[in-house]
Structure 1
Amino acid sequence: MSNLKLLAQSLGLSITTVSRALDGYSDVAPATRERVQAAAQAMNYRPNPAARSLRRRKAEAVAVTLPTEPGRFGPPIFLNMLAACGQRLAEEGLDLMLLPIAGRAGEMDTYRRLLDGRRADAVIVVRTRLEDERVAFLTERGIPFVTHGRTARSEEHAFIDGDGEAGFREAARQLAATGHRRIAHIAAPQDLTFAHLRRRGWLAALEDLGASEPLEYTAQPTEAGGYEAAQWLLQQSDPPTALLCATDSMAIGALSALKERGLAAGRDIAVIGHDNLPSAAFTDPPLSSMEIAAPDVGRQLADMLIARLGGRDARELQTILPVRQVPRSTHGPAD
């Protein structure tokens, strides 16, 4: 075992954080830098000059895995966010490495290859799950990481997230205020944290309104999933007057199902999504949506990871951002 690794283990820090502290990087918290230097002196640690020179020239890598479908690279909501994140990381000499993952089966193998092969020094986790094996693995390995989204144990790690629960509760209340009483939910799989929280907000609004038995359908968070869900919901004996969709992609699929049945979104049935994708403004009719009310989520995520690399406590890096409604033409009142 290398002396650097022993030093890192004795401090309970990652090797990356210790090496950056010893190399004088400005992103390392002063208290952490002092603690590392004191421990190094106590251990009589002397860095290898050649290795240190190589480390200073090496661009460190931050990895993020993105769920993909055949012929598509990642959910659209993440691409602009990660572009801004990558720009901010580059300012600190860090490279953002995007890795497409076709399914959960091989995802943990990818994580092990990345870290065992020292191909990544830090990780950004997106589309979190309530019980997320990636978060548990990174925590056990002591790898600096942040998540876009929460988990069942969010108090233990750094994260940034939107308040989807409050957003969906507010959207359902707005629909009810315009006369809707049969507000159905097109849900994403409930192991995904965002899907769980958005459904919880919808259910809370129904409870507030004293609504009858909830009407919902769970599908994959894609256009095809939204189309499938809307087809099923519209076939019910008492179909909904409004569809509250877990994502814009699902809502776009639902619009297609409505059109096939000769129904006009916003006139015959209201449809609302989440994410405010650029394409949402150009659907026919333009899709009502909601989004995190912050223009710089990608940079905030990068700043959070830089702070973690600098030794900042994860419990000090936890942000829930408000969600704002983006009403467009599909936000219509009940007949």
Structure 2
Amino acid sequence: MPETRTPARTPRRSGRVSIVDVAAAAGVSRQTVSNVLNGRKEYYSEDTHSRVIAAMDSLGYQPNRAAQSLRSQRSMQIGWHIFGEQLQAMRGFTLQFLQALVKATSDVDHHLVVFTHHDDDALQVFKDLVARRTVDAVILSESGVDDERARFLAEHGLPFASFGRLAPDLPQHWVDIDNAAGMHPLVDHLVSAGHRQFAYIGAEGGEFWKAERLEGFRTALAEHGLRVPANAVLHGDDAAVRAHTRRLLARRNRPTAIVAGNDAIAAVVVNVVHSVGLRAGRDVAVTGFDGGAIGLFTEPTLTSVRIPVERIARELVDRCLRQVRDGAVDGPGLLVPTEIVRGGSA
């Protein structure tokens, strides 16, 4: 049943704030507050969710986590597995996604447990999770399509959700963006600004989203009758990116626009542009792909494709909790749209 809205009452202020006080402040029923706390999204609207969370914040409501865990036989914790390279300083997107996951889990009265693995055996830590049941569900990121972690969790019945598409024979508990489609409005923007000579620089690695972004870039250029020369495309590490950018800018017919596969690389490109006496956004356009905090720290700020991490985090948490609550859940994965964030770099 959908939530029922009752007239807001002034909650009592003495003693510990209770779920009844929150319900009164939000103008909803006690059951609706419980639904929000336990992530039962089919029973409340986004507006109701916002009002309940606002009431909790204003009253300083602290749910009794121990009692909830005892009643439900759940840990009230969701794990997020990361690879060691995700913690590198240049991986600014990791922090952005972490912040979104912390908020999404907190909004449904859960804790986020971040963990990694040692050596090359990523599955050992998952074997421990299954044996100990220290978390109710696991969120995966940096997923390969045929992800061994997802396959292991599915075989052992531990709920999970993946930021990244999964193979058709795996449960489709994933949320992702269309990387190729995200490149099209960015290229349209650059072409409409008069750019005709392009370069592309991406991070090293064979992950599918890196290939998709380059393919989307090439396809979008082709729709305008343009192409990027093979010697103007690079996937590499930080040193290779810097050296390649310098070579590009030293050419007689240098590119007027450099499209980067993520914001961290775009920030490196902006620095190199400035180091050779040029200015990003004036002498050469530079764009990224993430739309996070890194782009705000460059001068000028980055034009980028924004990944909606807040929505992705909420959807991942919701998919996890639906499995915890209802068992195996069938259904397709979810592609969420991106958008362009316009800064001064292009």
How far does the alpha carbon of each residue in 1:245-283 deviate from its partner, in whole angstroms, 9 at most, with x for none?
A: 111111111111212221211111110001122231231
More divergent stretch after superposition (150-159 vs 202-211): 150-159
Relative to structure 1, is the Cα distance of residues 91 and 29 closer, same or farther in structure 2, using a 3 angstrom cutoff? closer
AA at the equivalent of 1:328: G
In structure 2, distance between residues paired with 1:100 and 1:155: 22
Partner of 2:77 in structure 1?
61
Provide the secondary structure at the position in 1 that maps to 2:294.
helix
AA at the equivalent of 1:77: F
What does 1:63-102 align with in structure 2 at a 5 Å threshold? 63-69=79-85, 72=88, 75-90=91-106, 92=108, 94-100=110-116
More divergent stretch after superposition (151-160 vs 261-270): 151-160
> Unpaired runs of 5+ in structure 1?
1-24, 31-52
Calculate the TM-score normalised by the size of structure 1: 0.71
AA at the equivalent of 2:77: A
What does 1:201-240 align with in structure 2 at a 5 Å threshold? 201-212=216-227, 213-214=229-230, 215-220=232-237, 226-234=241-249, 238-240=253-255
Relative to structure 1, is the Cα distance of residues 233 and 55 closer, same or farther in structure 2, using a 3 angstrom cutoff? farther
In structure 2, distance between residues paired with 1:240 and 1:73: 28
Partner of 2:149 in structure 1?
134
Q: Offset at 1:226?
A: 4.4
Calculate the TM-score normalised by the size of structure 2: 0.69
Q: Offset at 1:315?
A: 4.3
In structure 2, distance between residues paired with 1:232 and 1:162: 32
More divergent stretch after superposition (178-187 vs 205-214): 205-214
AA at the equivalent of 2:295: A
In structure 2, distance between residues paired with 1:289 and 1:129: 24
AA at the equivalent of 1:276: G
More divergent stretch after superposition (207-216 vs 175-184): 207-216
In structure 1, distance between residues paired with 2:306 and 2:217: 16
For residue 259 of structure 1, the aligned residue among 248, 251, 274 is 274
CA contact (8 A) 2:140 2:163 kept: yes
Partner of 1:149 in structure 2?
164
Partner of 2:139 in structure 1?
124
Q: Offset at 1:238?
A: 4.7
In structure 2, distance between residues paired with 1:198 and 1:159: 19
In structure 2, distance between residues paired with 1:29 and 1:170: 32
How far does the alpha carbon of each residue in 1:129-187 deviate from its partner, in whole angstroms, 9 at most, with x for none?
A: 23422222222323211111224549842111222211112212221222222221112
Q: Offset at 1:330?
A: 0.8
Relative to structure 1, is the Cα distance of residues 78 and 173 closer, same or farther in structure 2, using a 3 angstrom cutoff? same
Structure 1 residue 158 and structure 2 residue 173: aligned?
A: yes
Q: Offset at 1:227?
A: 3.2
RMSD: 3.5
Partner of 2:211 in structure 1?
196
Q: Offset at 1:60?
A: 4.0
Provide the secondary structure at the position in 2 that maps to 1:157.
coil
In structure 1, distance between residues paired with 2:189 and 2:89: 34
In structure 2, distance between residues paired with 1:101 and 1:237: 48
Structure 1 residue 274 and structure 2 residue 286: aligned?
A: no
Partner of 2:29 in structure 1?
none
Q: Offset at 1:29?
A: 11
In structure 1, distance between residues paired with 2:70 and 2:266: 50
More divergent stretch after superposition (146-155 vs 128-137): 146-155
Q: Offset at 1:321?
A: 1.3
Provide the secondary structure at the position in 2 that maps to 1:96.
strand
Provide the secondary structure at the position in 2 that maps to 1:316.
coil
Alignment size in residue pairs: 284
Structure 1 residue 182 and structure 2 residue 182: aligned?
A: no
The structure with higher relative contact order (CA 8 Å, sep 6+) is 1
How far does the alpha carbon of each residue in 1:52-77 deviate from its partner, in whole angstroms, 9 at most, with x for none?
A: x9674652432212234597579332
Q: Offset at 1:206?
A: 2.4
